[in-house]
């Protein structure tokens, strides 16, 4: 259908075409035509705006989908991070345990080596003390003995600095974990219990509160006569 403005219609009439020809045209005023133009223009603007908004909406929908994907990826990353963190904590704990075990093994091995070395040194120290005792018995050997004693004292300080301490066993009760009974002496002394250490025959030593070298000792054993008298007293009291 073709729309013709009324001025164009009158032009056609006066030109001899208005009354004699059949027409399917609709005639409107110029004012209405302008309104239609305004409506068409607004329609075009609205259509363009709709297209723009739809395009933005499509972009937003895509961004939303991307965000959903990112959210899923973020959750996966969080789970992976948690797994890695747990693995790291386990590895750290294993490392700490390994360090502790290694340190214990190192200390055990060091103590073993030190004990073996110090055991040899205390044997030399005992030999030096015996030599010093002999020098002190020699007439006119006082000056030599004094110089030798300085050497012995220096040796003793070295052992002390390393944690070596001598045992003082006399008067103690015999303990098989740190004493070796080399001699037994019978005695009827009522004031001393049996297995009392009477004498240190060979000095013993501790290394950091552990027995480095057991002391060789002479211990007391009550005489049979004394034991018999005590048994008779016990039977008499019954």
- Chunked mean pLDDT (size 10), the chain, 238 residues: 46 47 64 80 82 80 75 74 81 86 85 86 89 81 82 90 89 90 79 84 89 91 60 52
Residue for token digits 């080596």? 113
pLDDT value, residue 133: 85
* 210 Cβ neighbours under 8 A, 6+ residues apart: none
Q: From CA 26, how far away is CA 2, in angstroms rounded?
A: 7
Among the listed residues 212, 219, 217, 218, the one whose alpha carbon sits nearest the alpha carbon of residue 123:
212
36 φ/ψ angles, rounded to the nearest 5 degrees: -65, -40
Q: From CA 165, how far away is CA 207, in angstroms rounded?
A: 7
Helix (H) or strand (E) holding 181: strand 179-187
* 130 Cβ neighbours under 8 A, 6+ residues apart: none
User: For the chain, what are the domain ranges?
Assistant: 3-72, 165-238
Torsion sign, CA atoms 199, 205, 209, 212: negative
Q: From CA 21, how far away is CA 16, in angstroms rounded?
A: 9
CATH of range 165-238; options 3.40.50.300, 3.40.50.2000, 2.30.22.10, 2.40.50.180: 2.30.22.10
pLDDT value, residue 17: 47
CB 187 within 8 A of CB 222: yes
Query: Collapsing DSSP states into helix, strand and coil, what is residue 9?
Result: helix
Please report, for residues 2, 18, 20, 45, the alpha-carbon distance to residue 9 in angstroms, rounded to integers and kept in the order given: 12, 7, 13, 31
pLDDT value, residue 2: 42
Sheet hosting strand 210-213, strand order edge to edge: 164-166, 205-207, 210-213
Q: From CA 51, how far away is CA 58, in angstroms rounded?
A: 10
pLDDT value, residue 206: 92
Name the β-bridge partners of 183.
218
pLDDT value, residue 233: 53
């Amino acid at each position: 259908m073709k729309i013709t403005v009324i001025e164009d219609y009158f032009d056609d009439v006066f030109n001899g075409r208005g009354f004699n020809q059949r027409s399917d045209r609709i005639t409107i005023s110029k004012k209405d035509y302008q309104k239609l133009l305004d409506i068409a223009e607004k329609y075009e603007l609205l259509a363009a705006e709709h297209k723009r908004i739809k395009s933005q909406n499509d972009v937003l929908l895509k961004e939303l989908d991307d965000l959903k994907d990112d959210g899923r990826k973020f959750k996966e990353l969080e789970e992976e991070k948690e797994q890695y963190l747990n693995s790291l904590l386990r590895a750290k704990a294993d490392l700490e345990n390994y360090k502790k075990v290694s340190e214990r093994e190192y200390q055990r091995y060091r103590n073993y080596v030190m004990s073996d070395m110090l055991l040899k040194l205390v044997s030399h120290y005992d030999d030096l003390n015996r030599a010093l005792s002999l020098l002190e018995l020699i007439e006119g050997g006082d000056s030599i003995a004094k110089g030798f004693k300085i050497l012995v004292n220096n040796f003793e300080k070295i052992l002390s600095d390393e944690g070596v301490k001598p045992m003082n066993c006399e008067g103690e009760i015999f303990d098989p974990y740190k004493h070796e009974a080399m001699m037994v002496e019978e005695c009827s002394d009522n004031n001393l219990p049996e297995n009392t250490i009477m004498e240190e025959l060979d000095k013993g030593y501790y290394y950091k509160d552990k027995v480095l070298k057991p002391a060789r000792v002479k211990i007391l054993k009550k005489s049979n006569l004394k034991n018999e008298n005590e048994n008779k007293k016990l039977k008499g009291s019954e």
